[in-house]
Chains A and B, each alone.
Chain A
Amino acid sequence: MTVSELIDKNIFTLLNDGGNHDTALKGCYCCDLLSIAMGHAPEGCIWVTVMNNVNTLAVASLAECGCVVLACDVVADDAFLAKAKEQNITVFKTDLPVFDAALKAHECL
Chain B
Amino acid sequence: MSFSNDSLHFQYVVSKDDFTHAGSASSDVKNKLKKMNVDAAAVRKVSIAMYEGEINMIIHAYGGTIDVDIYEDRIVMCLKDTGPGIANIEEAMQEGFSTAPADVINLGFGAGMGLPNMRSNSDEFNIESEVGVGTTVTMTIYFNPA
Q: For residues 1 through 55 of chain B, which have their beta carbon under 8 Å from a beta carbon of chain A?
A: 19-20, 22-24, 26-27, 30, 40, 44, 47-48, 51-52, 55
- Chain B, interface size category, equals 20 to 34
Closest Cβ of chain A to B47, distance in Å, is: 4
Size bin of chain A's contact surface: 20 to 34
A35 pairs with B44, CB closer than 8 A:
no
Interface flag for A43 (CB, 8 Å): yes
Closest to B26 in A: A62
What 0/1 readout, one digit per residue, does chain A (57-100) give for beta carbons within 8 Å of chain B? 01101111000000000000001000000000000000000000
Q: Counting chain A CB atoms within 10 Å of each CB, which of B44, B113, B117, B121 scores highest?
A: B113
Are A55's CB and B19's CB within 8 A?
yes
Q: Is B114 interfacial (CB 8 A cutoff)?
A: yes
Closest to B112 in A: A35
Smallest Cβ-Cβ distance to A32: which chain B residue: B108
| A55 and B108 contact, CB distance less than 8 A | yes
Q: Quick one: given A38-B51, A38-B117, are A61 and B27 in contact (CB under 8 Å)? A: yes
Looking at chain A's contact residues, the main secondary structure is: helix
CB-CB under 8 A from B117, the residues of chain A are 35, 38-39
- Quote the shortest CB–CB distance from B77 to chain A (angstroms): 14
Nearest CB in chain A to that of B98: its residue: A35
B107 CB-CB contact with A under 8 Å: yes
Residues of B participating in the A interface, judged by any CB pair closer than 8 Å: 19-20, 22-24, 26-27, 30, 40, 44, 47-48, 51-52, 55, 107-109, 111-114, 117, 120-121
List residues of chain A with CB under 8 Å of any chain B CB. Answer: 32-36, 38-39, 43, 51, 53-56, 58-59, 61-64, 79
Closest 10 interchain pairs by CB? A58-B23, A35-B113, A34-B108, A62-B47, A33-B111, A51-B108, A35-B111, A39-B117, A62-B51, A38-B48
**What are 26 A-B pairs with beta-carbon distances under 8 A?**
A33-B111, A34-B55, A34-B107, A34-B108, A34-B109, A34-B111, A35-B55, A35-B111, A35-B112, A35-B113, A36-B113, A38-B51, A39-B120, A39-B121, A43-B40, A51-B107, A51-B108, A55-B23, A58-B24, A58-B51, A59-B23, A61-B23, A62-B26, A63-B44, A63-B47, A79-B20
